[in-house]
Structure 1
Amino acid sequence: MKRIKMGCTTLSIPAMALGIMRMNQKSVPEAQVAIQAAYDAGINFIDSADIYGGGKSEEIFGQAFSQMQIKREEMFIQSKTGIVPGKRYDFSKEHILHSVDEILERMQLDYLDSLVLHRPDALMDPEEVAEAFDQLQAAGKVRFFGVSNFDTAQFKLLQSCLSQRLMFNQLQFSLKHTGMIDFGMHMNMVDKPSVDRDSQFLDYARLHKVTVQAWSPFQYGMFEGTFIDNDGFPKLNQELQKLADKYEVGKNAIAAAWILRHPANIQMLVGAMNPQHIRDSAKGAKIRLTRQEWYDLYLAAGNYLP
């Protein structure tokens, strides 16, 4: 598995992480098979969130992982907090501290390697978040911190009040969600792709050594479904298959290789629970697409160059 530097540190993390959003749909033995498949492929990074399956995903993970032979220190385990489903976003100190305690209990852990704030809270008080982070770190409950779906100004605002460096920003990125790179190639144009919806965060991340974590790497829309083997995207699947045949892997591996080919050292979050899909996706970390292959996939996905 390809390894990348975590944020501004010298620590090494895998270029892929296993997202456990759908683990609530699995039995404990099935969850163990998925975790083991990821670990055997070099994916020793887990990404979760307190809202996944209403907390059930973390419960299943905790039960499964506690019975496995993998040592805790061999895994990097991350979770997210800040969304109260259907009610509000909540970055209050009280909510953050309480959520972490619940996460640790569900996952049967003594600490999280990383805590990520989920979607931006309009009522965020950066100083209050800083107090929560300091308390969590001092108590040994969280080692590192990050955010998810933050624009550049929101990221800078929070960072200005923290004593810790923010290591991550989770952003949606895939062959069918390319806004982070479209506007740069459509600079000085007036067409739809020229609109910057991500406040140039990918460039900011490269300048300030922030690890971008790409979520929904095989999805189109937000959660409409996968574009892999989807009849609605024939040209893209034809190009994926062509390259899959060349590199002797599956389409998931090629779609993953496309994301990892970007020089920003993006970490991709694999949300699959199917061991075969996990193993195939992991193969993408060993493939370095040519520049033309990368652009061929970009164009086959329905994008165009000015």
Structure 2
Amino acid sequence: MKYTTLPGTDLSASNIIMGNMRIDSLSLREIDQLVKSAQEAGINFFDHADIYGDGECESLFSQALSMDATMREKMIIQSKCGIHKDEGYFDFSKEHILRSVEGILSRLQTDYLDILLLHRPDPLVEPEEVSQAFDELEKSGKVRYFGVSNHNPMQIELLQSALSQKLIVNQMQLAIAHTPLIDSGIALNMTKDQSINRDSSTLEYCRLKDITLQAWSPFQTGFFEGVFLGDYDRFPELNKVLDRLAEKYKVSPDAIAVAWITRHPANIQVVTGTTKIDRLQKASDGSEIPLTRPEWYELYKAAGNIVP
């Protein structure tokens, strides 16, 4: 397992993250086994959000582990807030952020979060309110570091202009079959759909600003349009290449799909969302596979992208 000290922190983090979005489908015993398997694979980073299972995922996580100080010290725990799920709107008000963190800490049975992310950009954000909330959370020791999810460069700049804390993380969707973070830069100025700038050069911005990117849905295509792994009907060429490279490196296609992301020099973390131990272990195998430059590009092209 590859570990990287996240810029601006003292956190030595695995580049594979166990995502907990779906663990409410498991029993407490199954959650305990899944987390222990993650730790055995070298994963020390666990991702949550207050809307996952309407908060139930956080509660089940701590209950399953019988969370105590010794166990907590072995983990980097991150959660997200800012979405009113039932009402269908986003909220970065000071009141909502502070109330959300209190709920997160209570459900996780911990005194602090290592990282708090603002989940999706709120067009009605008042950066000064966010700053006040972050200052209170930092001063009280309830949150150590802060970041965002699904934000473009100017949205980050707007927030950062009022903050005394550096935003250290931006969690974005990225997979071989979902590559807007990369596409327009490769096909710049061409009359192709791929050349449309859909992300405002977020990847390059985050690299320049030492903001760690975290890739969510690493096996999905589109906005939850299905997993591309093993889908020979929609992605025959991609799966053919994944299978061949899996055989070469003696791992699963899952690991190659993860390695395509971890191979990138931006030190991107990969957020898995599986509830199956074997899939988690297979994904973890992709932490340090040294894909060559030709192999990385071959996978990118096999997913249907052009390299002019």
Question: Same fold per TM (> 0.5)?
Answer: yes
Amino acid at match of 1:244: A
- For residue 274 of structure 1, the aligned residue among 266, 272, 276 is 276
Report if the CA contact (8 A) 1:8-1:208 is conserved.
no
- Report the CA distance between 1:237 and its aligned residue: 1.0
Q: Which runs of 5+ in 1 are unaligned?
A: none
CA distance in 1, matches of 2:270, 2:69: 25
Q: In structure 2, do the counterparts of structure 1 residues 150 and 82 end up closer, same or farther at CA, with 3 Å as the change threshold?
A: same
Aligned length: 306
Q: In structure 2, do the counterparts of structure 1 residues 11 and 76 end up closer, same or farther at CA, with 3 Å as the change threshold?
A: closer
- Report the CA distance between 1:221 and its aligned residue: 1.2
Aligned twin of 2:193: 192
Aligned twin of 1:124: 125
- Report the CA distance between 1:7 and its aligned residue: 2.9
CA distance in 2, matches of 1:68, 1:159: 34
CA distance in 2, matches of 1:242, 1:283: 16
| Deviation per residue, 1:236-276 (Å, 9 max, x gap) | 11111111111111111000000011111111101111111
CA distance in 1, matches of 2:129, 2:69: 39
Amino acid at match of 1:114: I
Aligned twin of 1:159: 160
Aligned twin of 1:144: 145
Alignment TM-score, normalising by the size of structure 2? 0.96
**Structure 1 position 77 matched with structure 2 position 77:** yes
Aligned twin of 2:237: 235
Report if the CA contact (8 A) 2:115-2:146 is conserved.
yes
Q: In structure 2, do the counterparts of structure 1 residues 48 and 6 end up closer, same or farther at CA, with 3 Å as the change threshold?
A: same
**Structure 1 position 259 matched with structure 2 position 271:** no
Amino acid at match of 1:215: W
- Report the CA distance between 1:68 and its aligned residue: 8.1
The residue matched to 1:268 in structure 2 has which SS?
A: strand
CA distance in 2, matches of 1:211, 1:70: 27
| Deviation per residue, 1:160-196 (Å, 9 max, x gap) | 1111000100110100111111111112222111111
Please identify, of 69-78 and 240-249, the stretch whose mean Cα deviation from structure 2 is larger: 69-78
Aligned twin of 1:212: 213
CA distance in 1, matches of 2:225, 2:38: 25
Report if the CA contact (8 A) 2:44-2:75 is conserved.
yes
Aligned twin of 2:175: 174
The two structures, once aligned, show a CA RMSD in angstroms of 1.3
CA distance in 2, matches of 1:94, 1:136: 12
**Structure 1 position 3 matched with structure 2 position 3:** yes
**Structure 1 position 26 matched with structure 2 position 53:** no
1:11-90 equivalent positions in 2, closer than 5 A: 11-66=11-66, 71-87=71-87, 88-90=89-91
CA distance in 1, matches of 2:147, 2:211: 9
Aligned twin of 1:295: 297
Report if the CA contact (8 A) 1:21-1:53 is conserved.
yes
CA distance in 2, matches of 1:25, 1:217: 20
The residue matched to 2:286 in structure 1 has which SS?
A: helix
- Report the CA distance between 1:283 and its aligned residue: 0.7
CA distance in 2, matches of 1:69, 1:6: 23
Q: In structure 2, do the counterparts of structure 1 residues 162 and 69 end up closer, same or farther at CA, with 3 Å as the change threshold?
A: closer
**Sequence identity of aligned pairs in percent?**
52
Amino acid at match of 2:184: F
Q: In structure 2, do the counterparts of structure 1 residues 70 and 249 end up closer, same or farther at CA, with 3 Å as the change threshold?
A: farther
CA distance in 1, matches of 2:102, 2:125: 20
Q: Which runs of 5+ in 2 are unaligned?
A: none
